[in-house]
Every structure is written in C-alpha cells, then in structure tokens.
Structure 1
Amino acid sequence: MIDSSTVNQLVGADVYGSDDAKIGTVGQVYVDNDTQAPTWVTVRTGLFGSSESFAPLDDATFDGSVVRVTHDKAFVKDAPRVDADGELDPSEEQALYSYYGNGDATTHGAPAESPLFDQDADRGVDAQRTNERSSNDHGTQGHDTSGPTTDDAMTRSEERLHVGTERVEAGRARLRKHIVTENVTTNVPVSHEEVTLSREPITDANAADALAGPDLSEEEHEVVLTEERVVTAKETVPVERVSLGTETVTEQQTVNEEVAHEEIELVEPGTDGHTTTDTSAVDRDARS
C-alpha cells in the first residue's frame, strides 16, 4: 500500500513495470491536494535519466526500494510528455488520465514536499500559467488548442541520442596447474667386462714363471667380471613463472536506436484539412 507515509521514501526508488523491466527511478512524487495520498510519480528514463515520464500509482506497490506499477515499460515511456515543474493543471492531468484510462482529473496533483523541489518556484510557475490563461481570455492571437495557452508560436522538439559506456564484469580467468606424467626415452652408454683367453708360447723370457710350480697339478684361476647398470634419479626444478594480467582492447560497436522528432504542419483555411509540412527545420537538420 502506497500512502502518504511513504512519500519521502519514494524519491530515488527504482521503478519496474508489469513486464518486470526496469523503467527508471522516481524523480518527483505528486500527491492529491485533499488526501495528500501519492497519485503520480515522474520516472526518470533514457540514458543518464535525461527524460521524465509520468506514471500513476493506482494499484502500484512499494517494498521500500522498488516501485512496481501496473503498466509495462514501453507504455510508461510513451506517456504524454508533461513538464514536471509544479502543480498539474486540469488539461495536463486529464491527458494523463485519458492515456492510462484510470479515471478523470478531479483534483490537481501537486508535488510532495521534498528538499529536491523548490516550492516557491512551483508557485511561480502556477502564477505564470494563470497569467497566460488570463491573457488568452482577453484575445491573445493564436493559442494551443490541444493544451494550455502559451503564446503565438509552437515549439518543435526532438529527441537527441546520448551514448555512453559503463564497465561491467564480462568473465573471470584463473590460473590452475595440474600434474601430467609423460615418458622420457634417452640412450645411456653402459659397459661390462667379458672374459678373454690369451695364449702365449714359452720363451726364455717367461720360462722361469712357467716352471715355478709343480710339474703336474690341478688348480683354478678366477676372474671377477663387472658391468655398469643404469641408475635413475629425479629432481624437481623451477622452469618458468606464469602470471595473469589484463590489457585493454578497444573495438567499435554500432548503436542503433530510434529517436523521435516533432514536425509542424500548417493547416490553411479553405483547404479541406489538407496540410503543408514545415520542412525548413527538417532541411536544416539534414544539412547539419
């Protein structure tokens, strides 16, 4: 239930539509002059909150940080543009009621008291609008037939696209190591001893050694043979250091958005409703 006790908490709260899409944040809160119950909020939409759209609080909910309205995001953003600069006059409020289909304007909504709003400035705006309506009653030439009287000129507006960037987390990279076993094959030279038999004839030089023993005897001679065997050993040594780092890569991305602009048509008397488009402003924009 959104009542007068929650007015101060509404300012700055996120606003979500019936499609669970975020519309924007609350800019101003308008309350009923009689009951002081909040009836409308302005929702800051667009890039950097450059636009404000009115949204009704009928059947809306507020959980302390998020306002959920009963209309989807696109519907709220397409609501009639009304200056959120003071008390709503009957024609502005009626235009909003007609768009949202939630009744007729019986009491004018006024912005809730908040440090964000200058009440003296709001009263000045109301006084200006009163003076404009009074002048029109005395025969101002030209007036806006679809809204309150301003002056004898019509303002043409257009949307401007503002493009910016924000930094978001795109993913995470981690270093992880694990053990891999592989076979290593290498050739190692090994040596061994083999028995060789040498025979030499008896000569004067070795005759003394040959006749040193008995004439006939049985005996054995033994030779120890040796060989080399392969011995392996392993040691762990550091081979390299690997670290994580980041680098910034800039690439071009194309942004495609729709922007709206107003065109002014001249309806001349006696032309059976045929209009002439004022293309001067459009041509100027195209040339620029």
Structure 2
Amino acid sequence: MFDENQIQSVMGSDVYGSDGEKIGRAGQVYVDDQTGRPEWVTVNTGLFGMNESFVPLGSADLGEGRVTVPFTKDVVKDAPHVSPDDGHLSPDEEQRLYEHYGVGDAGRADDGGLDDTGTAYDGGEVRDRTDQGDRGDTSGPDTDSAMTRSEEQLKVGTETRETGRARLRKYVTTEEQQITVPVTREEVRLEREPITEGNRGEAMSGPEISEEEHEVTLHEERPVVTTEAVPVERVRLGKEQVTEQQEVSGEVRKEHIEADGVEESDRSR
C-alpha cells in the first residue's frame, strides 16, 4: 500500500508487469480525495510513449526506481481510455477501470464510496477541483475576454535496436588449373663434314683402320609443379547509414471553441 510520502518516488519510475516485462513509464499519480492515499498512476505506453493508461496502485510494489503492478502489459494497454481534463477521475471512470482490472475498490477510503474520486497529484500538492479556475476558462471578474484554445502535437523521436548481424568467414576450396610451360629436350642428329686441310690432322691422328664407339648423353626438361601462398586482397565488413522516410501515427486531442449567438460565418473553430 502506497502513502502520500511515496508519490514522488512513483512519478517517473519504470513500471513493470507481473511477468517481469516493462510496461512503460509512470506519469501522474491520482490520490483519493478523502484519504490522500495514492490510488492510480498513469503509465505511458505504445510507440514513443504516446498512449496513457490508468493502473491501480492498491497491490503495486515500489522498489529501486521501479513500480511492479500485478497485471500484464496487454491488460494495461487494453484499459479503458480515460481523459480527465480537470485532473479528476469521475465515479463512472473509476468504476470502468476497476471492472477492467477485475479488482474492487480496496485501498480507497473506509466508506468505499465512489464519490471519493481520484485527483491528480502535481508538484507536491493535490490539484483539487476548486483550483481549476486558472485553466477552465470560466467567466468571472478575474478572467479576461479571450479564451485559450490548446491542442496536442505529436512528438516523434527515434530509438536504436539491433536488426541483425553479419560476419566474415574464410574457407578453402580446391580447383584444377592448367598452365602451358615451355620445356627443352636434346635430340641426336648425325653431322657429316668432308676432310679438308683444316681437319686433316685430326682425321689422320688415329690408326688407319679401327673399330670405335662414341657416346653422347641427352637431356630434357620436365615440368615441376609446386604451390606458393601469396596474398591477393584484404576484405573487411563496413557499415554505412541509410536514411529513409517512415510514417508514424498517433492520436492527438484538440480543443474547439464554438460561439453561441453569432452568425455561423463568424464562428471560430
């Protein structure tokens, strides 16, 4: 059970569901008008936290900057949409929320009456209905002749998430290559030369008639294949940023002003 001293700790904390999944971030805390106890907390959910859901604090736990509620994220996101423009929850709105979460009005004032509706806690004090004159544009001696029209605008940001991984892998394959290599071999040929004055001395140096043998060694080249590993290129993974346009959507509220007692053409939007 929370008390008024813990309100500041709840606001801005991360809210987690009963399954341990993060639901969103706590926004405003709504307190009981009679007891001042925290009854409800708004939780920002959805894309970029644009949606806001009410969650009861009766069975929630607070610890180490986080609030844990006994509901799942889907249950919180499906809660009835409530927009208390005056910073107050009506009895009907509270009843719808209690029915959605399947809990009674435990933790409320002892009389349990739905007339004790919740009021938003803001800046260290409870904003009561009697303090809404500053923003309610109610006519009176302390107001001017103009009415302020406000509207919500979408605020869109980006978040970075991991989409995948790439890796380099090196492996070895074997292929057959054919290379033409020139090779040289020696062949025997018979050469005859006539006896001349120049070679007569050598021709007559031996016996006149004899038997002889001469032997010549032949050589040839043969291809020899070896391999050598040589670097051919370097490969690395690089990243580049690609910017594309994506459309996002969200609900915004606008105030409209109508004038009574004037011509239709003179009415402002």
Structure 1 length normalisation: TM-score?
0.61
Change (3 A) 1:239 1:182: same
Give the drift of 1:222.
Answer: 0.9
In structure 1, what is the equivalent of residue 110 of structure 2? none
In structure 1, what is the equivalent of residue 94 of structure 2? 97
* Structure 1 counterpart SS, 2:218: coil
Matched to 2:55, the amino acid is A
Match for 1:239 among 213, 232, 235?
A: 232
* Structure 2 counterpart SS, 1:75: coil
| Percent of matched pairs sharing the same residue | 45
How far apart, CA to CA, are the structure 2 residues paired with 1:199 and 1:55? 119
In structure 1, what is the equivalent of residue 109 of structure 2? none
* Structure 1 counterpart SS, 2:26: strand
In structure 2, what is the equivalent of residue 74 of structure 1? 78
Structure 1 residues not aligned, in runs of 5+: 142-152, 269-276, 283-288
How far apart, CA to CA, are the structure 2 residues paired with 1:158 and 1:21? 32
How far apart, CA to CA, are the structure 2 residues paired with 1:177 and 1:240? 13
Q: Is the 8 A contact 1:54 1:82 kept in 2?
A: no
Match for 1:209 among 191, 202, 206?
A: 202
Change (3 A) 1:180 1:25: same
Measured on the aligned residues, the alpha-carbon RMSD in Å equals: 4.7
Q: Is the 8 A contact 2:48 2:156 kept in 1?
A: no
Structure 2 residues not aligned, in runs of 5+: 106-112, 141-145
In structure 2, what is the equivalent of residue 150 of structure 1? none
Q: Is the 8 A contact 1:31 1:109 kept in 2?
A: yes
Q: Is the 8 A contact 2:50 2:250 kept in 1?
A: no
Cα deviation, 1:209-257, whole Å, max 9, x if unaligned, reads: 3332233333221111111222344433333333333322222222344
Q: Is the 8 A contact 1:53 1:81 kept in 2?
A: no
Report the more deviating stretch, 13-22 or 172-181. 13-22
In structure 2, what is the equivalent of residue 190 of structure 1? 183
Q: Is the 8 A contact 2:31 2:118 kept in 1?
A: yes
Q: Is the 8 A contact 1:56 1:69 kept in 2?
A: no
* Structure 2 counterpart SS, 1:25: strand
In structure 1, what is the equivalent of residue 11 of structure 2? 11
Cα deviation, 1:46-66, whole Å, max 9, x if unaligned, reads: 666567543223555667635
Give the drift of 1:192.
Answer: 0.7
In structure 2, what is the equivalent of residue 285 of structure 1? none
Q: Is the 8 A contact 1:18 1:73 kept in 2?
A: no
Q: Is the 8 A contact 1:93 1:108 kept in 2?
A: yes
How far apart, CA to CA, are the structure 2 residues paired with 1:67 and 1:208? 123
* Structure 1 counterpart SS, 2:41: strand
Change (3 A) 1:267 1:46: farther
Q: Are residue 177 (structure 1) and residue 170 (structure 2) matched?
A: yes
Give the drift of 1:182.
Answer: 3.2
Cα deviation, 1:89-113, whole Å, max 9, x if unaligned, reads: xxx341332322355425454667x
Matched to 1:28, the amino acid is Q
* Structure 2 counterpart SS, 1:99: helix
Higher helix content, 1 or 2? 1
What does 1:249-268 correspond to in 2, within 5 Å? 249-259=242-252, 261=254
**Structure with higher RCO (Cα < 8 A, 6+ apart):** 2
Matched to 1:179, the amino acid is V
What does 1:82-231 correspond to in 2, within 5 Å? 82-84=85-87, 88=88, 92-100=89-97, 101=99, 102-103=104-105, 104-105=113-114, 107-109=116-118, 117-119=123-125, 122=126, 125=128, 127-128=130-131, 158-231=151-224
Give the drift of 1:179.
Answer: 3.1
